[in-house]
Amino acid sequence: MVRVFILSVFCVCAVSLNSVLAQNELIRDPTQPINYVPSDTGYSSADANGYKLSAVFESSRPSALINGKRYHVGETIDGYTVKSIRPSKVVLQKDDEQMELSLYSSKVIVR
């Protein structure tokens, strides 16, 4: 009977602690880079140009999930060619215009 009581108290404490931590936003995504700073607006469904990088798949032939579709280096998306795929970003190029999609912030850098 004492064991059941102790186990019950432990479970209640664990649930309460988890709730307090979640409310205070002390829980952090362990896969985020150490110097990651979330944007003020939070996550958007797409960046300013309508492209959203959702995932990067590293392998012998890396690929990226852009707007819900998987692309490899050399493939085109709306006239842009996928020039490079890095662990946290993808570079698209169209003529002299280069666009960088970042995995950890919802910003697009056009050069």
pLDDT in tens, 48-89: 578 889 899 999 999 999 998 999 999 999 999 999 999 889
pLDDT above 70 covers a percentage of the chain that reads: 62
| Phi, psi torsion values for 13, nearest 5 degrees | -65, -40
Q: What is the pTM of this model?
A: 0.53
Q: Residue 54: name the closest of 98, 97, 89, 99 by CA.
A: 89
Say what the pLDDT of residue 12 is. 62
Q: Cα angle at 110 between 43 and 77, to 5 degrees?
A: 80
| DSSP, res 98 | E
As beta bridge partners, residue 108 has 101
Residue ranges per structural domain of the chain: 1-30, 53-110
Task: For residue 103, give the DSSP letter.
Answer: S
Options 1.10.3470, 1.20.1630, 2.30.30, 2.60.120; CATH of 53-110:
2.30.30
Query: How many Å apart are CA 21 and CA 27, to the nearest integer?
Result: 6
